[in-house]
Amino acid sequence: MRYGSSLRFPLAATICCWGAVGCATVAVATAPSKSAAKDTSQAAAAATDAFWETLHAGRYEGIGPTLERLDAAYLAHPNDPNTAAFIGFMHVWRVSERTRSPEVHASITDDIVLARRYFAEASRLAPDDARFRGFLAAMTLAEGNINGDKKLVRRGYFDLGDAVDAWPEFNLFTRGYVLSQLPFDDPQYAEAVEDQWRNLDVCAERHLDRNNPDMRPSFGKETHDGVKRACWNSWIAPHNYEGFFLNFGDMLVKAGDPVAARKLYAQAKFSKDFATWPYRDVLERRLARAEENVAVFRAATPHGEDAPMSVSSFACMGCHQQ
């Protein structure tokens, strides 16, 4: 690599290096900012196709090869925010559904660090994309917990709040999903449950009766455009609606309210796409076992299908698998 041209400073800057501010400060301050630019290469298109094919097929074992293609595209063109975000999401998927691996190593937590790094880059290049901001905040909070860094945890939590303000239809779920991994008696677990109720209200554009919630009167509002698209199934998340109610039901079971949980689980069955949802049998078993799952979901280390959705083997695929 050639460094010479990039390290030639103007005469005035060179003189300033000998002043109080120091050469390093001037060098950093005068460096050009990184700007976003869409990668239109064939390699980037192929890597993007591989991302969606792997995700929608639920091929967890394909994460590694797909990351190779995405990383290569990023190295060739590090200015595309979408490529950076795709890499971040692959790392999130790998750590979120780690129970699908025959053996889980401690190094799996490195995926959280890398996810945070790439979502930071995506947010830097596309600062108005509240999805990237939400994922970045979630990974900041997660990394803080791994490192025992309370300041980082709080930074992630408050950044999640900012992301919610920017796009509540999307990030109320994101924040609630992250906080749902807390113990059931943690005060912030109740906040996570409240986030899901608020998410339903903003999507339905009305206040739902929490004793008898029913989204069917709002089905006519389904859209694939604008902020409300996050409320419904889409090409990106073919079973977003069903996955939302599977998770919300799980959260209420863990909270100790299996009666209310059944009402939320049942909402998933009203989806026009329910018959093609890969996890419809999981939901049926949840309905049958709601009372006994209270203790199961509160266990310290639930595994496989016996875990709440957010820490299960389908934590991402519950919404994204075709």
Task: State the DSSP string of 164-185.
Answer: HHH-HHHHHHHHHHHHTTS-TT
Q: What is the mean pLDDT of the chain?
A: 92
Torsion of CA 244, 246, 248, 249, to 10 degrees: 160
Q: 108 and 186: one domain?
A: no
pLDDT of residue 49: 98
91: nearest Cα among 74, 106, 109, 76 = 109
Together in a domain, 127 and 223: no
Mean per-residue pLDDT for 143-165? Answer: 97
CA 5 to chain centre: 40
pLDDT score for 128: 97
The answer to whether residues 173 and 310 belong to one domain is yes
Q: How many Cβ atoms sit within 10 Å of the Cβ of residue 94? A: 22
Is residue 55 located within the same domain as residue 130? yes
pLDDT at residue 61, as a whole number: 97
∠ CA(51), CA(168), CA(231), 5° rounding?
60
In the predicted structure, residue 12 carries a pLDDT above the cut 70: no
Give the mean pLDDT of 83-112.
96
Do 180 and 231 sit in the same domain of this protein? yes
What gap in Å lies between CA 248 and CA 297, rounded to an integer?
Answer: 13
Q: Are residues 222 and 288 in the same domain?
A: yes
CA dist., res. 211 & res. 30, Å (int): 59
Q: Kindly tell me if the per-residue pLDDT of 189 is higher than 80.
A: yes
What's the rounded mean pLDDT across residues 176-188? 96
- Note the pLDDT tens digit of each residue in 263-292: 999 999 999 999 999 999 999 999 999 999
Classify residue 27 as left (phi > 0), alpha (psi -120 to 50) or beta.
alpha
The confidence score (pLDDT) of residue 2 equals: 40
Q: pLDDT for 98-147, tens place per residue?
A: 999 989 999 999 999 999 999 999 999 999 999 999 999 999 999 999 99
For the residues 26-43, what does the mean pLDDT come to?
88
| Torsion angle of the four alpha carbons 232, 233, 237, 240, in this order, in degrees rounded to the nearest 10 | 60
The rounded distance, in Å, linking the Cα atoms of 128 and 78 is: 18
Instruction: Phi first, then psi: give them for residue 44, nearest 5 degrees.
Output: -70, -40
Question: How far are the Cα atoms of 243, 245, 268, 308 from residue 271, in angstroms, in the given order?
Answer: 11, 10, 6, 21
C-alpha span between 91 and 39 (Å, rounded):
21
The pLDDT of 231-246, averaged and rounded, is: 98
Q: What pLDDT is attached to residue 161?
A: 98
Q: Say what percent of the chain tops pLDDT 70.
A: 92
Spatial distance between the Cα atoms of 114 and 299, rounded to a whole number of angstroms? 29
Considering the domain architecture, whether residues 310 and 204 belong to the same structural domain is answered as yes
Q: Give the pLDDT of residue 21.
A: 54
Which domain-ending residue is among 166, 193, 208?
A: 166
**Total structural domains in the chain?**
3
Give the end of a domain, one of 147, 166, 185.
Answer: 166
- 60-71 pLDDT tens trace: 999 999 999 999
Q: What is the pLDDT of residue 302?
A: 66
CA-nearest of 244, 261, 215 to 318 is 244
Using the 8-state DSSP alphabet, how is residue 225 labeled? S
Asked if residue 37 lies in contact with residue 77, where contact means CB atoms within 8 angstroms, the answer is: yes
Q: Do 268 and 278 touch, CB atoms closer than 8 A?
A: no
- Give the span between the Cα atoms of 261 and 164, in whole angstroms: 24
The pTM for the full model equals 0.91
> What is the reported pLDDT for 14?
42
Final residue before a domain boundary, out of 149, 166, 183: 166
Q: Is the pLDDT of residue 249 over 70?
A: yes
pLDDT at position 51, please? 98
Angle at which helices 168-179 and 240-255 cross, to 10°:
40
pLDDT of residue 184: 96
Rounded-to-integer distance, Cα 182 and Cα 46, Å: 38
| DSSP class of 81 | H
Residue 245 belongs to domain spanning: 169-322
305 and 275, same domain (yes or no): yes
User: What CATH number is given to the structural domain containing 160?
Assistant: 1.25.40.10
73 plus 114 within the same structural domain? yes
Average pLDDT over residues 19-45: 83
Q: Does residue 270 share a domain with residue 138? A: no
Would you state the pLDDT for residue 95?
A: 97
Tens digits of residue pLDDT in 210-233: 999 999 999 999 999 999 999 999
Specify whether 186 is located in the same domain as 272. yes
Claim to verify: residue 143 and residue 255 sit in the same structural domain: no
Burial pattern 107-135, b for ≥16 Cβ within 10 A else e, equals: eeeebbebbbbbbbbbbbbbeebbbbbbb
Residue 160 is predicted with a pLDDT of: 98
